[in-house]
Amino acid sequence: MGQAKQTHYNETTEKQVVNKMKDVLSYKGFIGSVHFNAKDRVFHGKIEGVDDLVTFEGKSVDELIKAFHEEVDDYIDLCKEQNKEKSL
């Protein structure tokens, strides 16, 4: 069968997506969705556009951003360790 389609990273495209969508985070070319759970009073999200499920959460905006950055860095490290292409 065919190979998985690789999305070509483009900084302009990232900026366009971030400008159009207010509920996203951007870091090192990755986009993270942002949601709020009022019942649990927690922000949460996931890294979009990757084949793996990578989630993050925080009780404040600062915690959410820190968690997103940490998950992106961990995901990049994991891809390097496993000789896996990052799906950007």
% of the chain surpassing 90 pLDDT: 65
DSSP per residue over 7-22, as a string? PPP-HHHHHHHHHH-S
| Res. 15: pLDDT tops 80 | no
Domain map (residue ranges) of the chain = 11-81
**Residues in contact with 65: Cβ distance below 8 Å, sequence separation at least 6, in sequence order:** 25, 58
In the predicted model, is pLDDT for residue 88 greater than 70? no
Measure Cα distances from 32 to 2, 20, 25, 78, 82 in Å: 28, 14, 5, 18, 22
Tokens describing residue 36: 């709020």
Beta-sheet pairing, 30-33 with 24-27 = antiparallel
Give yes or no for residue 79 having a pLDDT over 50: yes
